[in-house]
Amino acid sequence: MLAEYLPTLLFLIVASGIGVALLLVGKLLGPRRPNAEKLSPYECGFAPFDDARMQFDVRYYLIAILFIVFDLEIAFVFPWALVFRELGLFGLIEMGVFLALLVIGFVYVWKKGALEWE
């Protein structure tokens, strides 16, 4: 039984060894020229002007959730399109209901003003 797992274990050992070896080679052979700018926590080109733990607007999360919803819609529509002929009228009605619910949700979010960014 353990002989079946030996190739997987060997692969994990070799992969871990290569990863550690590459990190060590980079640490040993890489250039080390520290200065105040490189050691500062902000390297984005300008000085920090606010706390790093500032709160995001809720609309940011709404747009992210909307993106996920419509991205998952494609995950359902694409396989449905592949087997559309086998599903027949029942599959067409089911997908119509699914898309109608998504459109209703989109219109609701639109009317609430979640898509308007100031």
Query: The domain spanning residue 108 has which CATH number?
Result: 1.20.58.1610
83 contact partners, CB below 8 Å, separation of at least 6: 91
Q: What is the pLDDT of residue 16?
A: 98
Prediction pTM value: 0.47
In which domain, by residue range, is 106 found? 56-118
Average pLDDT per block of 10 residues along the chain, 118 residues long: 88 98 95 79 62 71 81 87 90 92 86 77
C-alpha closest to that of 57 among 98, 17, 116: 116
Domain membership flag for residue 117:
yes
Q: What is the pLDDT of residue 51?
A: 66
**Which residue has tokens 């819609």?**
73
Domain membership flag for residue 105:
yes
